[in-house]
Amino acid sequence: MIRKVSVLWRRYSKLWLHELILWRIARIPERQFLYLLALVVGVFSGLAALILKNLIHFVSTRLTSWLEVDSISYLFLVYPLIGILLTVLFVKFIIRDNIAHGVSKILYSISRQSSRIKSHNSWSSIVASSLTIGFGGSVGAEAPIVLTGASIGSNLARIFRLNYKYVTLMLGCGAAGAIAGIFNAPIAGIVFTLEVLMLDLTMAFLIPLLISSVSAATISFFFMGKDVLLQFAEVKPFSFNTIWFYILLGIFTGLIAIYFTRMTMHLEAKFKKIKSWGISMLIGGLIMGLMVFLFPPLWGEGYREIAMIFSGKGSEMLNNSLFFDWKGNEYMLLVFLAGIMIFKVIAMVATTGSGGIGGIFAPTLFMGAIAGYFFSIFVAVVSKYNLPSDDFALAGMAGMMAAVMHAPLTAIFLTAEMTRGYELIIPLIITSTVAYLTIMGFEPYSVYTKRLAQSGDLLTHHKDKAVLRMMNVRNLIETDFEILSPDATLKDLVKAISLSHRNLYPVVDADGFLKGMVKLSDVRGLIFEHELYNKVMVKDLMYMPEFYISPEDSMEKVAEKFESSERYNLAVIEDGKYLGFISRAVAFSKYRKTVQDFSHE
**CA dihedral sign, ordered 46, 49, 53, 59:** positive
pLDDT of 431 > 90? The answer is yes
Residues 423-432 have a mean pLDDT of 91
Average pLDDT of the segment spanning 107-134: 86
pLDDT at residue 412 is higher than 80 = yes
Average pLDDT across the chain, whole number: 83
Q: Return the ∠ at Cα 368 (arms to 180 and 69), rounded to 5°.
A: 95
Q: By percentage, how much of the chain surpasses pLDDT 90? A: 27
Q: Is 449 helix (H, G, I), strand (E, B) or coil?
A: helix
CATH 3.10.580.10 applies to domain 472-598 = yes
How far apart CA 390 and CA 264 sit, in angstroms, is 27
User: What confidence score (pLDDT) does residue 152 get?
Assistant: 95
pLDDT at 321 over 70: no
**What's 240-457's CATH class?**
mainly alpha
Predicted pLDDT of residue 146: 92
Residue 481, pLDDT above cutoff 50: yes
pLDDT of residue 451 exceeding 90: no
| Banded pLDDT at 601 (limits 50, 70, 90) | very low
Given this model, what pLDDT does residue 69 score? 43
Domain 30-228: CATH superfamily is Clc chloride channel (1.10.3080.10)
Half-sphere exposure of 249 (CA within 13 A, CB side): 38
Q: Does pLDDT of 463 surpass 50?
A: yes
For position 290, what pLDDT does the model report?
Answer: 85
Contact between 42 and 177 (Cβ < 8 Å): yes
pLDDT for 233 beyond 70: no
Check: CB of residue 221 under 8 Å from CB of residue 213: no
pLDDT on residue 409: 92
In the predicted structure, residue 393 carries a pLDDT above the cut 70: yes
Domains 30-228 and 240-457 share a fold: yes
Domain ranges of the chain: 30-228, 240-457, 472-598
| 342 Cβ contact partners less than 8 Å away, ≥ 6 residues apart | none
pLDDT at 137: 85
| Angle, in degrees to the nearest 10, between helices 186-195 and 164-183 | 140
What gap in Å lies between CA 333 and CA 326, rounded to an integer? Answer: 8
pLDDT, tens digit (0-9, with 9 covering 90-100), for 243-259: 999 999 999 999 999 99
Under DSSP, the state recorded for 489 is B
| Higher pLDDT pick, 402 / 31 | 402
| Predicted confidence (pLDDT) per residue in 490-541, tens digit | 888 888 888 888 888 888 888 888 888 888 888 877 877 877 778 888 888 8
pLDDT higher than threshold 70 for residue 68: no
Helix (H) or strand (E) segment spanning residue 581: strand 577-583
Give me the mean pLDDT over the 299-326 stretch: 77
Cα(168)–Cα(187) distance, integer angstroms: 19
Decide if pLDDT at 462 tops 70.
no
Which residues are 245's β-sheet partners?
none
Partners of residue 507 on adjacent β-strands = 484, 516
Residue-wise pLDDT for 25-61, tens only, equals: 777 788 888 999 999 999 999 999 999 888 888 877 7
> Of all residues in the chain, what percent carry a pLDDT higher than 70?
85
Give the tens place of pLDDT for each residue, 81-114. 888 889 999 998 898 888 887 788 888 887 777 7
Picking from 154, 152, 193, the residue whose alpha carbon sits closest to that of residue 176 is 193
- Alpha carbons 299 and 301: distance in angstroms, whole number: 7
Asked if 582 contacts 477 with a C-beta cutoff of 8 angstroms, the reply is yes
Q: What is the pLDDT of residues 546-559, one digit of tens each?
A: 788 888 887 778 88
Quick one: which of 352, 455, 359, 452 has its CA closest to 91? 352
Q: Which pLDDT score is estimated for 65? A: 57
Instruction: Give pLDDT, residue 313.
Output: 81
Quick check: pTM over 0.85?
A: no
Nearest to 451 by CA among 275, 271, 265: 265
